[in-house]
Structure 1
Amino acid sequence: MTSTTQNVLLAALLAAPFALPVAAEAQPKADRTIAAVDTDSDGTIDLAETKAAAAAVFDKLEKDADNTLDAKELKGRLSRQELKKADPDNDGTLTKDEYLAVVEARFKAADPDNDGTIDAKEMRSPAGKALAKLLK
């Protein structure tokens, strides 16, 4: 074995303990999100389950009884730019239907195989993580 090969193997062995906790941490978060939303316990979430969970989140976040969410109530779930894009009437708030439209768009982005469901692997993707922010 050459010294270069030995150095690469040594570096990989030394880095492995640090990489595993990150991967292990991402997996349980995705699994917890799926478990919380998966009402039929099939190990995936579909759009209906996702929208039902998102509607409950909307109701929990909506504090001032105006049936909309503003930036403060959204608590960082959407950036200012995302809020503006999701707000077709430009009133600075999202109705439940507008919020659920964002959820649906993020669901579709997190479902690259277009099978109508999201599994834990898809939930760990950047698009899946963006969706998960709207479900907490």
Structure 2
Amino acid sequence: MTLRLSNSFAALVLATATLAAPVAFAKPMSGAQAVKMIDTDNDGTVDMKEIEATASATFDRLEKDSDGTLDKKELKGRLSVAGLKQADPDMDGTVDKKEYLAAVADRFKAADPDGDGTLDAKELKSPAGKALLTLIK
């Protein structure tokens, strides 16, 4: 049986369903699409564990020079100059995985105004949710 995929999104969905691994987003997506891609327990929301898994995979994918950190070039605009400064408490101009995940956690909290520890499609569609998705795409 031959399966034809008409676009890269369909291929990404197929790969995700097949591998059940965290996903990298090629284009901006809606909150509902993001939930569908990240929500490994299929409860209709994403929690910090699911976000962290995706963010960790994103960090690993971006970290090209094997030095254990992401510099401005490797971050590819995911953090502004001010955002990088905030995420870099040791002020070495890079973020290690722990610092990166702390920045992700900060954005998760900002995107969770009801404080229930989960994000739904509406929360991911908010400006704070979009800022979070920028870090994990």
TM-score interval, normalised by the smaller of the two chains: 0.7 to 0.9
TM-score by length of 1: 0.78
- Matched with 1:106 is 107
1:75-95 C-alpha deviation (Å, 9 max, x unpaired): 000001110111011100000
Q: CA offset at residue 111 of structure 1?
A: 0.3
TM-score by length of 2: 0.78
CA distance in 2 between partners of 1:61 and 1:32 (Å): 22
Higher share of residues assigned helix? 1
Q: CA offset at residue 71 of structure 1?
A: 0.6
Identity over aligned pairs, percent: 62
The residue correspondences of 1:118-129 to structure 2 (distance < 5 A) are: 118-129=119-130
One-letter amino acid matched to 1:54: A
Q: CA offset at residue 33 of structure 1?
A: 1.3
Moved over 2 A (4+): none
- Matched with 2:41 is 40
Q: For the pair shown, which has the larger CA radius of gyration, 1 or 2?
A: 1
CA distance in 2 between partners of 1:82 and 1:36 (Å): 25
One-letter amino acid matched to 2:89: P
One-letter amino acid matched to 2:126: S
The residue correspondences of 1:1-136 to structure 2 (distance < 5 A) are: 29-136=30-137
Tell me, what secondary structure is at the counterpart of 1:100? helix
CA distance in 1 between partners of 2:122 and 2:64 (Å): 34
One-letter amino acid matched to 1:135: I
1:5-42 C-alpha deviation (Å, 9 max, x unpaired): xxxxxxxxxxxxxxxxxxxxx8x621121111111011
Superposed CA RMSD: 1.1
Q: CA offset at residue 51 of structure 1?
A: 0.5
Equivalent pairs counted in the alignment come to 110
